[in-house]
Structure 1
Amino acid sequence: MTLARVFEELVGPEAPVEFAAYDGSRAGVPGAGIRFDVRSPYAVSYLVHSPGSLGLARAYVSGYLDVGGDMYTALSTMQQVFSDVTPGDKLKVLGEVMRDPLLRAAVSRRLDPPPQEAPFSRVPAWLRHSKRRDAKAISHHYDVSNTFYEWVLGPSMAYTCACYPEEHSTLEEAQFFKHDLVAKKLGLRSGMRLLDVGCGWGGMVMHAAKEYGVKALGVTLSKQQAEWAQKAIADRGLSELAEVRHLDYRDVTETGFDAVSSIGLTEHIGKANLGSYFSFLYGKLKPGGRMLNHTITRPDNLAPAMKPGGFINRYVFPDGELEGPGYIQSQMNDAGFEIRHQENLREHYARTLDGWCRNLDEHWDEAVAEVGEGTARVWKVYMAGCRLGFERNWIQLHQTLGVKLDAQGKSHMPLRPDWAS
């Protein structure tokens, strides 16, 4: 049986894609907007030994499988056409594959994962989130190339969900609005002190300093991020107010901050450490100080917080864990924060990812030259898949605002929110 016939057995002859294989066989709709090319029998080996999204990702990242056309559309289409495929169908097709001598030989050889896969991402939970291991996990994802990130993220260098004030706002406008929304929720004013944990390339730190006259300290475990941010701070004449350190947040010694922002760090903390994490941030605040937590969440707490064997954990965010918004809020509450506001920006993250995907496509050749084709492919499929996840409500993004009450139980909050929502 040819690979094209195998494809037709799984999804039917009228699937709205074009399929081509190294054996010369073809299936699907000729000239369709989406095309899958199986360039080697080793692609089938990855699919058999690592079924599902991990096998597909390994085959694509290694170059044994190519996808022509828009990646988001390809993933969306294949999610739809494979939705009715049963385990029995897969076993039947596997049996057909094993009758082909070339495929049987390829499948019998278990391939090593592509080098972009983090070798340390599959360990017991009790070994995760030491300072050394967290630094290694963060470096795997963020110390790729500042130039690469500049192409993908755009001038804002903000690698977190933007907030689109209007239907036709640009990515840059939405990132500015996001930083300003955080600043307003925190009630920032000139002369205040802000601690921004997991600060990335310093976007929030520089926004607080430039737009509000706030003395802002940011910390990140990525050395490349810290170096880029410190140069950007100096270039913009903000050195008297803004600072970014290459530092674990747990090693911040200063206290008495007026506000704390955590934008995209909680996903890296781990469920077992959330209580101590929020307690640490609570201890950094003055009475009446506010903390804004901005994090990716999941719609419920019914499934495991992480998939150790999944594509995201192995290739993108080693040791990453997502919790439901209610659990995040309860951990903040138990650490002492009074919760004052929460909102879901799920649709905004889908739009943000769409912008990043378009940026990568526009700089594809430069990106491949900068970081290698395998890493560029990881990013292409990861961002497109995440966009689909936010659109389908498989994942969400929540901002939760808490306040540290003073000794008399006063919040020093306005009677009604005074920020744009």
Structure 2
Amino acid sequence: MTTYKDRSEVFADLGTKLSIAEIFETLVDGAVPIRFTAYDGSATGPVDSEYRLDVKTPRGINYLVTAPGDLGMARAYIAGDMTVEGVHPGDPYDILKAMADLKFRRPSALALVTIARSLGWERLKPVAPPPQETLPRWRRIALEGLRHSKTRDAEAIHHHYDVSNTFYEYVLGPSMTYTCAVYEDENWTLEQAEENKYRLVFDKLRLKPGDRLLDIGCGWGGMVRYAAKRGVKVIGATLSAEQAEWATERIAEEGLSELAEVRHSDYRDVPEGEFDAVSSIGLTEHIGVHNYPFYFEYIKSKLRAGGLFLNHCITRPDNTRTTKAGDFIDRYVFPDGELIGSGRIISEIQNVGLEVLHEENLREHYAMTLAEWCKNLVANWDACVKEAGEGTAKVWGLYMAGSRLGFQRNVVQLHQVLGVKLASDGAWQVPLRPWWQA
């Protein structure tokens, strides 16, 4: 098959008709890094590639042409119109790594004419995406309100977290912890590393029996239960009804009800105050960068003088990039998710009058965590498909493997920031040097 270094020459003759593989080439900026085949028998990319994308249906090429990039590829793959060979759908990490430098471009008007002539104009009409896809941002405003209103935040959390507690048990394992683990040794199990993460947060916050902790965005209550088992009185808040139900049942089973409570509630609706510590583990990604001043002011308002807080969240590696998630992540994984660099987070913490004591980056730890979650998904693939459907299981494999690659390539990072609410006299109220074991 002919490969065009400058694909504009393909369209010099308005009578040209392209094969599907040639159409795919027009959507790619540069060489196709893996083998691409299609239902019309055409192919492109290295013949000896370990991995192959195979477009099976006309709808598949429609998805690719109408949304060139990660969104169109995801639609075709999740819907079953494009298959992937060489990897398990629960962990497509290797093929994503092979495609890491693949870049797409939107076809020119002339290219679209040629594509339409080749496929038929009906192939350029957008078709319904897979049911796992949520609405685009502009339509969510009309139906759910402005970004990060209470109603719209609740819907975004419902989309991501209320898949099925059973599904999450298969993927996350016994700890039911859906945030970055902390490994002391690369041979540690996921459960060891997740327990160590809670230990690290607990120790950084200098918690002791009798203290009061507020854990906002508490998920399935892992931090809540860890602290309660050590004599701390804890309130956790989550917008996910399924998470709150699971956590409440587990708290009762473990005999922690007198110390621990998980509420199905927006964190903004927790009325109590004067906490000894506040933990926020994996919430900041959901609240919106423009809401940081309110968010950290809220944390400050919930702490007693001298109280400590810890913010644990995914960030960008710098403070200049766009904060909005890409199309695939926004439509399928974290609607309305926003990220910025740790420098912006620290600045916003300082701007409300909280003092930052310590900061660390756990980027590689999250890559290791995601690899373990993918292993769980592969091991429990049939059960996950039965529980949530094949399309949803594919979304999770794609999202987690892609995120692992993102952490390894420094596209995203994971930062913990520890701070304190100073007393009015500004007196130093913590030990002179770090008091926790790293």
The reply to whether TM is greater than 0.5 is yes
Q: Is 1:141 aligned with 2:160? A: yes
Aligned to 2:7: none
TM-score (norm: length of structure 1): 0.92
C-alpha displacement of 1:248: 0.7
1:71-110 alignment to 2 at 5 Å?
71-80=92-101, 82=102, 97-100=115-118, 103-110=119-126
Aligned to 2:339: 322
SS class of match (1:313): helix
C-alpha displacement of 1:113: 2.1
Q: Is 1:305 aligned with 2:312? A: no
Structure 2 vs 1, CA of residues 93 and 67 (structure 1 numbering), >3 Å: closer, same or farther? Answer: farther
Paired amino acid for 2:299: L
Tell me if the contact between 2:66 and 2:125 (Cα under 8 Å) persists in the aligned partners: no
1:189-230 per-residue CA deviation (whole Å, 9 max, x = no partner) reads 1111110000000000011111x2111111100000000001
Alpha-carbon distance between aligned partners in 2 of 1:12 and 1:26, rounded to the nearest angstrom: 17
Q: Is 1:224 aligned with 2:242? A: yes
1:147-296 alignment to 2 at 5 Å?
147-210=166-229, 212-296=230-314
After superposing the two structures, state which structure 1 stretch, 271-280 or 106-115, moved more. 106-115
Structure 2 vs 1, CA of residues 144 and 131 (structure 1 numbering), >3 Å: closer, same or farther? Answer: same
SS class of match (2:120): helix
Q: Is 1:41 aligned with 2:62? A: no
Aligned to 1:416: 433
C-alpha displacement of 1:303: 2.3
Alpha-carbon distance between aligned partners in 2 of 1:378 and 1:30, rounded to the nearest angstrom: 28
C-alpha displacement of 1:3: 3.0
Alpha-carbon distance between aligned partners in 2 of 1:12 and 1:317, rounded to the nearest angstrom: 27
Tell me if the contact between 1:186 and 1:259 (Cα under 8 Å) persists in the aligned partners: yes
C-alpha displacement of 1:305: 0.8
* Structure 2 gaps, min length 5: 1-17
TM-score (norm: length of structure 2): 0.88
1:4-43 alignment to 2 at 5 Å?
4=21, 17-28=34-45, 32-43=49-60
Structure 2 vs 1, CA of residues 224 and 418 (structure 1 numbering), >3 Å: closer, same or farther? Answer: same
Structure 2 vs 1, CA of residues 9 and 112 (structure 1 numbering), >3 Å: closer, same or farther? Answer: closer
SS class of match (1:79): coil
- Count of aligned pairs: 414
1:55-76 per-residue CA deviation (whole Å, 9 max, x = no partner) reads 1111111111111233111111
Tell me if the contact between 1:230 and 1:243 (Cα under 8 Å) persists in the aligned partners: yes
After superposing the two structures, state which structure 1 stretch, 238-247 or 222-231, moved more. 238-247
C-alpha displacement of 1:323: 1.5
After superposing the two structures, state which structure 1 stretch, 200-209 or 330-339, moved more. 330-339
Q: Is 1:129 aligned with 2:148? A: yes
Paired amino acid for 2:273: T
Q: Is 1:390 aligned with 2:407? A: yes
Paired amino acid for 1:108: L
Paired amino acid for 1:76: K
Tell me if the contact between 2:66 and 2:124 (Cα under 8 Å) persists in the aligned partners: no
| Percent of paired sites with the same residue | 56
C-alpha displacement of 1:26: 4.2
Structure 2 vs 1, CA of residues 405 and 388 (structure 1 numbering), >3 Å: closer, same or farther? Answer: same
The match for 2:394 among 377, 383, 387 is 377
Structure 2 vs 1, CA of residues 315 and 205 (structure 1 numbering), >3 Å: closer, same or farther? Answer: same
RMSD over equivalenced CA pairs, Å: 2.4
Structure 2 vs 1, CA of residues 252 and 8 (structure 1 numbering), >3 Å: closer, same or farther? Answer: closer
Paired amino acid for 1:166: D
Paired amino acid for 1:216: V
Structure 2 vs 1, CA of residues 366 and 121 (structure 1 numbering), >3 Å: closer, same or farther? Answer: farther
* Structure 1 gaps, min length 5: none
Runs of 4+ in 1 over 6 A off after TM superposition: 8-16, 85-88, 90-93
